[in-house]
A and B are shown apart, each in its own frame.
Chain A
Amino acid sequence: MAELFATALLLDIGSWTLILLGGFFSIVGGIGLIRLPDFYSRLHAAGIADTLGAALIISGMVLQTHGDGVTIRLLLIGSFIFLTSPTSTHALARAALATGMPHWRRSVDDGIDIESANRDDLTASSIGDSPNTSADV
């Protein structure tokens, strides 16, 4: 009986530690969203909540389950977040780049001519192919 109690207590401590840590990292991600200087940098802050925050909170919740269907569902949710969050982050970054979202004025000058690469891209992928397809719509 006492042993059972000790195990439950340990599980609770572990689970709370993980959930609180996850909460801490998610909050830091939120602070980063406000403090960082431009759209592109803020994507990185959002990434903290997506990865470490979500992983820690879900692990903490897994410790509260009993190895049943709920555990499996939580692990599945975790893996879906890991598979989908880079896709949406990339879509945001790409859209920002394509619409000419300005970079922070103190960004490092990297010599990459993103403007011209972008123009090529627009002509090649969307504008070039559109005359035929737009008629169908």
Chain B
Amino acid sequence: MIRTASLTLFLGATWLLLSGHFDTKMLAFGAGSVVFVVVLAHRMGLVDAEGHPVQLSWKFPIYFIWLAWKVLLANLIVVREILRRKITVAPQLIQISCGQADELHQVIYANSITLTPGTVTMRLQDGEVIVHALTGELAADLQTGTMEQRVRKLTGEG
């Protein structure tokens, strides 16, 4: 119920922000399309903890800022590797376990890894992530598990 309300609110706000029309006829069209989309989303089974994760709430912006910082640092490392006079990268595959984490946790974690330059998730199966890392430094940083703990905090387990 909260999810439906939140989705409706979210879609309505997006419509208002993007349309810029505030006369009655257009508002009615907007309300109609919001209701239509909410009904469709329900029929498709998209309004659940995975499709519309309101439970992350205020923790998501915090995680996002932290991730943006990590992305910036990783970018600088990859730029340095690219601009070296002689390419000295050491591409490698590493395997990391997410343990018993739920699917939302695994997906956020795997996507965060891919978003960070220098590391790309290649497989995600049974809680095991196989990652291609550009250098040993980037691989080691991932293996410290800081990002995994952050995601764990975000999705509210443990």
Residues of A within 8 A of B (CB): 25, 28-29, 31-32, 35-38, 40-41, 43-45, 47-48, 50-52, 55, 69, 72-73, 76, 82, 85-87, 89-90, 93-94, 97, 103-104, 106-108, 110, 112, 114, 117, 121
**Could you jot down 12 A-B contacts, CB within 8 Å?**
A25-B75, A32-B78, A40-B91, A40-B122, A47-B78, A47-B116, A48-B117, A52-B72, A72-B17, A90-B111, A108-B91, A108-B136
Q: Are B92 and A110 in contact (CB under 8 A)?
A: yes
B158 within 8 A of A: no
CB-contacts of B125-141 with A (<8 A): 125, 130, 132, 134, 136
Q: Are A48 and B130 in contact (CB under 8 A)?
A: no
CA distance A45 to B135 in the complex (A): 13
- If the complex has contacts A69-B17, A69-B18, A90-B120, are A44 and B115 also in contact, measured as CB distance less than 8 A? no
CA distance A94 to B110 in the complex (A): 13
What B residues does A90 contact at CB under 8 A? 110-111, 114, 120-122
Q: Are A108 and B90 in contact (CB under 8 A)?
A: yes
Closest residue of A by beta carbon distance from B75: A52
Q: Are A97 and B89 in contact (CB under 8 A)?
A: no
Total interface residues on B, using CB and 8 Å? 38
- If the complex has contacts A51-B117, A93-B120, A108-B90, are A40 and B79 also in contact, measured as CB distance less than 8 A? no
Residues of B within 8 A of A (CB): 17-18, 20, 68, 71-72, 75, 78-79, 81-83, 87, 89-95, 110-112, 114-123, 125, 130, 132, 134, 136
Contact of B120 among A73, A89, A106, A112 (CB under 8 A): A89
- If the complex has contacts A51-B75, A82-B115, are A35 and B123 also in contact, measured as CB distance less than 8 A? no
CA distance A89 to B71 in the complex (A): 15
Q: Are B91 and A86 in contact (CB under 8 A)?
A: no
Contact of B118 among A29, A44, A94, A104 (CB under 8 A): A44
What A residues does B121 contact at CB under 8 A? 86, 90, 93
CA distance A104 to B90 in the complex (A): 9
- If the complex has contacts A36-B89, A51-B71, are A44 and B78 also in contact, measured as CB distance less than 8 A? yes
